[in-house]
Amino acid sequence: MKLEGPSSVSNIPVINCLRGIAASIVCLYHFVNTTTGYIESETIKDIFWFGKTGVYMFFVISGVVIPLSMIRGNYTYNNWGKFMLKRLARLEPPYIASLILALLYFKVRLMVASSAPEDMTPSFRDLILHIGYLVPFFNGEWAIDVYWTLSVEFQYYLLLSILLPFALSGKIITRYGFYALFLIIPFILKGHGFFPAYAPLFLMGIVYVFMLTGNANPTECLIIVALCLIAGFSVLTPSYTVAAFITLLIIHFIPLYTNKVLRFLGEISYSLYLLHIITGGAMINLLSHKFKLPYQKPFVIIGGYLLSVVCSYLFYLVVEKPSQRLSSRIKYAKRDAQLEPAMEFVKKPGAR
């Protein structure tokens, strides 16, 4: 069976559109399902519950983007430090800035009469654990719930930076051993907030990249993806695995699809993901006490989403874009000059 994938492994613009979709549906899930007592219809909640799958779309996207950039950059252990430094330079400033904004929001929230008088500020211990994404390792509490996925992603970066050269050593046994590890660890090391539970979703993207770059044949790719589906259905909520698989199918069958709106949302998706709870979510929480009629609620939800997008765009310009430039200044050796962080991948059609 012949698989027809992207004509160029460096040009997959649909990925940015998928990022925009994933971030947006996560927003809507939080706005509809986690605003206490606002949306009462269980049917509507059930529909928007599927917004949680946006997180797992991000996982399979990272499964594609990270190893693809590493392979194209001829990644070796010699540039491990620069690889991690670029990742930190790209992702940490927005993360830390959003954490500071969250702490300010928690203080302001206590001054608003219509808000619950609960102080959501994390303990000093938990704040320290946010450095290095250590919260789940010490049973801490995240300041903002979405941060748990950043920890999973960071664990993935570390593991892949160590194991990818083994997988691509040219020996079948090491590549199959790599697959086996990703397929077995979710059954051994379980737990929300830790990479092993989601390893099969990342592996879907990784083995697809191996096929695109000639490191695995199509039959091998199909078999491993099938095993990932079996493992995913065994250890995760089925809809999470389905969402990841559909994401991979979209990347494969319509890699060149693009859309101005979705491309824009993909551009700011990281900022939107970080900020939506303390911007649009905060506004919805405030307005939910006043606008309670059924016809008003959709406007409140939509307004919260639009506010999140506006705030995220400003945050992108002020914080995230400079962090991108900072990351780009960290140079690799000549043979590794193409290696770039995943968040930079495919910002616009044909661009790297």
What does the pLDDT look like over 140-182, one tens digit per residue?
999 999 999 999 999 999 999 999 999 999 899 999 999 999 9
What three-state secondary structure class fits 241? helix
Q: Which of 283-287, 294-298, 326-330 has the lowest mean pLDDT?
A: 326-330
For 89, 205, 314, 325, 326, the CA distances from 320, given in Å and listed in that order, are 10, 25, 9, 9, 10
SS (H, E, C) 23-54: HHHHHHHHHHHCCCCCCCCHHHHHHHHHHHHH
pLDDT of residue 302: 97
How do the residues of the chain divide into helix, strand and coil, expressed in percent and rounded to 5?
70, 0, 30
Residue 44 is part of which domain span?
14-111+148-344
Interval 31-54: pLDDT, tens: 999 988 899 999 999 999 999 999
Residue 187 CA, distance from chain mean position: 22
Closest among 292, 267, 289 to 20, alpha carbons compared: 267
Residue 131 lies in a domain: no
* Spatial distance between the Cα atoms of 98 and 191, rounded to a whole number of angstroms: 25
Interval 210-226: pLDDT, tens: 999 999 999 999 999 99
Residue 143 lies in a domain: no
Task: State if pTM tops 0.85.
Answer: yes
Q: How many CA atoms lie within 13 A of 21 on its CB side?
A: 17
Q: Domain count of the chain?
A: 1
- Structure tokens given for 112: 């608003």
Region 333-343: mean pLDDT is: 43
Contacts of 244 (CB under 8 A, 6+ apart): 56, 57, 59, 60, 201, 204, 232
Closest among 121, 157, 116, 156 to 142, alpha carbons compared: 121
CB 227 within 8 A of CB 184: no
pLDDT of residue 170: 87
- Phi and psi at residue 189, to the nearest 5°: -110, 95
Interval 252-292: pLDDT, tens: 999 999 999 999 999 999 999 999 999 999 999 999 989 99
- Structure tokens given for 217: 């044949």
Q: How confident is the model at residue 86 (pLDDT cuts 50, 70, 90)?
A: confident
* Spatial distance between the Cα atoms of 2 and 221, rounded to a whole number of angstroms: 11
CB 26 within 8 A of CB 52: yes
Residue 116 lies in a domain: no
Residue 138 lies in a domain: no
* Spatial distance between the Cα atoms of 48 and 25, rounded to a whole number of angstroms: 8
* Spatial distance between the Cα atoms of 163 and 237, rounded to a whole number of angstroms: 27
